[in-house]
Every structure is written in C-alpha cells, then in structure tokens.
C-alpha cells in the first residue's frame, strides 16, 4: 500500500504470504523495509529517506513504513515516452547509472550461480509451469509450446556462453525490476526506484538481463527505437561485447515474465490483461526467433558466387563469416591473397589439407555457436561427408542448419573465372578445376538453390527469404554495438 501525503510517499507492506514472499510477521516487514531502502539508495539516494516506525495508542510499534520523497507523475519515463517527448538524454544517463551499479557489484559464488544456464533454464521452466497451471488459460498451447521450444533450444546449446559470462564477472546484484513506470526524469538527473528486494536470487542476474527489462518495457510502450538505443548505451558504458542473440534472449525472458504477470492478473479479473498477455507473448516469440542460433552453409562450385553471397548475408545479418579459401591458406602457412594454383587434388588442394580445412572450419564454428554467434561457412560443400559433419555440429550445438547452394549459367561462370585476377581473389580455381569439381560434386538435395546469375542483390534477397522463413520472417535483429575505447 502506498500513501501519498504532501511531498512524501509512505509504503506499507501488507501482512501477506504469497509463497514467493512471506510478510506475515512484523519483524519480516521491518527487515524488508530496511532492505528496500538500502538497495534503492544505490540508484536513488535522495529519494529513499529511511524507515519510519508507526506507533499505536499503547506506545508500541505496530508497523513500519518506507519513507520516500514523492516524485512528479509527469516525469515518469513511461509517461514521457507515451507523450512522444525526447528522452534520449535521460535514457543515456539511466544506462550509465545501471552500468555503474553493475560495475560496483560484488561477485560471490551465490551471485554467480544465478548466471548459469541451469539457473536460467530453471527460471524459464518455472514460468512455463505457472502459466500452464492457471485454471483459466490465456495463451494457446501452440504459442506457449513454440516459446518453450525456442527457449530451451537456445539455452541447451549455449553452456560455453553462460560459463563465459560467469568467468567474465557479468553476473551482478542488480535492480531486477527495471520498468519505465519506476524511472523519473528530473532536471537533476534520473531517479530509478523500486528494485526487487524480497528475493535476492531474482536480483542476482546477468547485467544484460537486468538492462533487457527496460528495453522490453520500452518495446511494450511501442518505442522499439528507444529500446535498441538503450541497449547500445548500456553496452557502451558496461563495455560488454555480448552477442545480439543474448540480448534477444534476455529481452524475450523479460517479456515472458510480464506475460506471466498479465495472465495472473487476468485470473484475478482485471480487464484487458488477456490482450496484454497475448501482446507480450508475441513480443517474446519475436525476440526468440530473432535470437535463434543459425549455421548457414553457403556452397557451390568455383565462380558460382558463394563468397559474394556469404559476405552479403554476413554484412546484412551480422553473422560471423568463415571462408574455406582463407582457412586453407592459413593452414598452409601462406598469406590469403598469395596465389597457389594447382591441378585438382594437388598442392594445397590435396585431400589431406582439404580434410584439415573442413575440420578447422567446423571446429571454429562450434566455438562460435556455443557462445551464441550465428555462423556462415563459405565452402564448396561438394562432399556429402563434410555436409554430414556440419549437420552433426548443428545438432550438437542446438543450432538451426540452413544450406544454400549457389548456381549460375555456365556462360556466367566462365566469364567470372576469366575475370579473376591473381592476388585479388583468394580462390585459385580455374576453368579446369571448376570442371572437375562440378563433375565430382555429390548431389545436395537438402540445399536451397540460389541463382546468382542475375545480380548480387537478387541472390541476397533469395537467401534472406530462406533464412527469414526459418525464423518466421519478421524478427528484427539487434546489431552489435561498436565499442568505443574507454
């Protein structure tokens, strides 16, 4: 209960037991009031004035109240966003304040364990179970099942990512409930209120997870540009080079937490909460699709345009590109643009070095996929055994596999091979090599054919259509922020 009186606000804890919190004793309420003041003074020291004792007629303390300076409603970040007011400057300050709090956070085994993939999976599963257990279901089994499938697929293949986050001290004692309603943009600077105080484990989290809550809330307020801007600000101030896929996952997690709350409120008879739950569930699914981890094989015989297409996809989607021609020459100990022509199966194109090249490509891809980085491998992929190894890798890392086979008319291929200039193209293949590779290529029925003969732009659109169809087509991807020195 919040009592507004003049320029003060007084917060009283109700004597309730909700399972996840128990405020039924006076001592429990006293402790949590003092903890709320202590924690919130990290981000709003001038707002939280202390804890007052309420004394009854008999002179005994009968209740405890958190005493706060009252904030002007018109300065709420949520109200300013809805009104279309410029909030970029205060958002940047909020990002700096949150990142600074995270930097000062202690790092203990108790805090770190909440950043593991196991702990994150447990929180998701608990939310799924709570939503499914509601007597009046709001979400259909279809969307809930797809959210669960994509969520667990991401977590189960990303143990190196979560272990690395813990090792890099990215798990913090954060805010835990960073909502636009609780941020006030004053002339003296933002005041960030109402952190989660009743359960430490819910406040011990990855710093990205903490910041993602506000990004999600800004999207809920129909301000996706501000959401992405805030994430970039946070990345700048925290120096966190996390992959966009992890951002998407944490925004999805926060959207589903609010989905669950909306479902619970619907069960309590609050009008409009079912619609809100559906909106938030769609937002959850949107980000899970955008953050799906993908291994894209871009193949084809020489001069079919696979390298041009692979580079274009990587540039458009922000995927990591691995090129067989570059890795092959690296293993051979020569610069990538140094010519090394040889007949098919000879020189640096012998069978042994070819096997080593594909093994190295898949090894590098496995490390990247495990850390949440989608990967494109540009290679010929004419050998079915190499493609089978890539399929096994995708299963091992719980990644989506997309195979694209480039093709072009023979006249176009011949013209491209004739135009190649020594020292400009990494590839050394000539017309003779291309002819042998084409004759020996094993059928690739699982691949989608991409015609590169017309234009690079047309080929790119064909490829993107295949990738987007795999991930529902509408998901917007965050681009990795550029990290500035200092």
- According to DSSP, the β-strands at 375-378 and 320-323 are parallel
Please indicate, yes or no, if residue 342 is contained in any of the structural domains.
yes
pLDDT of residue 338: 87
C-alpha closest to that of 406 among 319, 315, 302, 328? 302
- Same domain for 133 and 220, yes or no, is yes
For the chain, helix (H) and strand (E) counts, in that order, are 19, 13
Q: Angle 88-104/207-220 helices, nearest 10 degrees?
A: 160
- Same domain for 95 and 109, yes or no, is yes
Q: Which of 69, 95, 116 is the last residue of a domain?
A: 69
pLDDT of residue 424: 55
Task: Tell me how far apart the alpha carbons of residues 323 and 272 are, in angstroms, rounded to a whole number.
Answer: 52
- Same domain for 238 and 368, yes or no, is no
Please indicate, yes or no, if residue 454 is contained in any of the structural domains.
yes
Question: How many domains in the chain?
Answer: 3
Task: Determine which helix (DSSP H) or strand (DSSP E) holds 217, and give its type and residue range.
Answer: helix 207-220
Domain that holds residue 354: 294-470
Rounded to two decimals, the pTM is 0.90
Q: Which of 290, 314, 332 is the last residue of a domain?
A: 290
- Same domain for 146 and 15, yes or no, is no
Residue 464 has which token pair?
């993107």
C-alpha closest to that of 109 among 100, 99, 101, 119? 119
Task: Tell me how far apart the alpha carbons of residues 65 and 51 are, in angstroms, rounded to a whole number.
Answer: 6
Region class of 153: left (phi > 0), else alpha (psi between -120 and 50), else beta:
alpha
pLDDT of residue 483: 36
C-alpha closest to that of 287 among 154, 394, 164? 154
DSSP of 77-95, one letter per residue?
A: HHHHHHTT---HHHHHHHH
Task: Using alpha carbons, list the distances in angstroms from residue 447 to 85, 299, 401, 403, 443.
Answer: 49, 9, 10, 5, 9
Among all chains, which residue has been given the structure tokens 């320029």? 7
Q: What is the CATH number of the domain that holds 406?
A: 3.40.50.300
C-alpha closest to that of 481 among 164, 84, 211, 156? 211
Task: Tell me how far apart the alpha carbons of residues 71 and 73 are, in angstroms, rounded to a whole number.
Answer: 6
Task: Tell me how far apart the alpha carbons of residues 199 and 148 are, in angstroms, rounded to a whole number.
Answer: 25
pLDDT of residue 103: 97
Task: Tell me how far apart the alpha carbons of residues 377 and 188 are, in angstroms, rounded to a whole number.
Answer: 51
Q: Which distant-in-sequence residues (6+ apart) come within 8 Å of 399 by Cβ?
A: 157, 293, 294, 295, 369, 374, 393
- Same domain for 64 and 135, yes or no, is no
Neighbours of 476 (CB within 10 A): 13
pLDDT of residue 473: 42
- Same domain for 399 and 298, yes or no, is yes
Q: Which of 69, 95, 115 is the last residue of a domain?
A: 69
Please indicate, yes or no, if residue 277 is contained in any of the structural domains.
yes
- Same domain for 181 and 324, yes or no, is no
Taking a C-beta distance cutoff of 8 angstroms, is the pair 249, 215 a contact? Answer: no
pLDDT in tens, the chain (486 residues): 999 999 999 999 999 988 778 899 999 999 999 999 999 999 999 999 999 999 999 999 999 999 999 999 999 999 999 999 999 999 999 999 999 999 999 999 999 999 999 999 999 999 999 999 998 889 999 999 999 999 999 999 999 999 999 999 999 999 999 999 999 999 999 999 999 998 888 999 999 999 999 999 999 999 999 999 999 999 999 999 899 999 999 999 999 999 999 999 998 889 899 999 999 999 999 999 999 999 999 999 999 999 999 999 999 999 999 999 999 999 999 998 888 888 888 888 999 999 999 999 999 999 999 999 999 999 999 999 999 999 999 999 999 999 999 999 999 998 888 887 654 567 878 888 888 998 999 999 999 999 999 889 999 999 999 998 887 644 444 555 443 333
- Same domain for 78 and 34, yes or no, is no
- Same domain for 178 and 327, yes or no, is no
pLDDT of residue 479: 55
Task: Tell me how far apart the alpha carbons of residues 236 and 91 are, in angstroms, rounded to a whole number.
Answer: 13
Please indicate, yes or no, if residue 131 is contained in any of the structural domains.
yes
């Amino acid at each position: 209960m919040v009592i507004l009186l003049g320029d003060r606000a007084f917060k009283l804890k109700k004597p309730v037991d909700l399972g996840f919190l128990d405020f039924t004793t006076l001592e429990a309420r006293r402790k949590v009031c003092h903890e709320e003041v202590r924690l919130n003074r990290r981000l709003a020291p001038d707002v939280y004035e202390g804890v007052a004792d309420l004394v009854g007629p008999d002179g005994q303390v009968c209740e405890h109240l958190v005493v706060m300076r009252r904030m002007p409603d018109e300065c709420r970040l949520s109200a300013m966003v809805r009104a279309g007011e410029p909030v970029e400057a205060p958002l940047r300050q909020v990002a700096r304040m949150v990142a600074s709090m995270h930097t000062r956070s202690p790092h203990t085994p108790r805090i770190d364990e909440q950043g593991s993939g196991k702990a994150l999976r447990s929180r998701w599963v608990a939310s799924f179970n709570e939503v499914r257990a509601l007597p009046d279901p709001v979400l259909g089994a279809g969307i809930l099942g797809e959210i669960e499938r994509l969520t667990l697929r991401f977590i189960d293949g990303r143990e190196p990512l979560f272990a690395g986050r813990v090792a890099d001290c990215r798990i913090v004692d954060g805010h835990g409930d960073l909502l636009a309603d609780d941020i006030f943009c004053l002339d003296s600077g933002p005041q960030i209120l109402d952190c989660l105080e009743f359960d430490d484990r819910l406040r011990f989290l990855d710093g990205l997870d903490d910041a993602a809550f506000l990004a999600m809330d800004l999207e809920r307020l129909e301000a996706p540009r501000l959401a992405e801007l805030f994430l970039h600000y946070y990345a700048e101030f925290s120096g966190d080079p996390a992959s966009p896929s992890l951002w998407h996952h944490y925004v999805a997690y926060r959207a589903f937490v609010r989905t669950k709350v909306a479902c619970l409120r619907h069960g309590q008879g609050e009008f409009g909460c079912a619609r809100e739950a559906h909106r938030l569930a769609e937002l959850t699914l949107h980000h899970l699709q955008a953050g799906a981890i993908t291994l894209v094989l871009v193949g084809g015989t020489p001069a079919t345009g696979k390298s041009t297409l692979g580079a274009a996809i990587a540039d458009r989607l922000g995927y990591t590109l691995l090129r067989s021609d570059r890795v092959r020459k690296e293993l051979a100990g020569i610069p990538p643009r140094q010519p090394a022509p040889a007949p098919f199966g000879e020189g640096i194109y012998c069978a042994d070095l070819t096997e080593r090249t594909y093994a190295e490509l898949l090894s590098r891809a496995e490390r990247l996929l495990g850390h949440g980085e989608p990967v494109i491998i540009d290679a010929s992929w004419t050998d079915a055994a190499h493609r089978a190894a890539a399929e096994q890798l995708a299963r091992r890392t719980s990644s989506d596999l997309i195979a694209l086979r480039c093709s072009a008319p023979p006249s176009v291929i011949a013209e491209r091979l004739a135009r190649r200039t020594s020292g400009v193209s990494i590839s050394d293949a000539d017309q003779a090599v291309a002819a042998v590779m084409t004759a020996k290529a094993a059928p690739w029925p699982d691949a989608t054919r991409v015609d590169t003969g017309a234009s690079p732009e047309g080929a790119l659109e064909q490829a993107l259509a295949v990738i987007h169809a795999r991930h529902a087509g509408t998901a917007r991807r965050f681009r990795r922020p550029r990290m500035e020195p200092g």
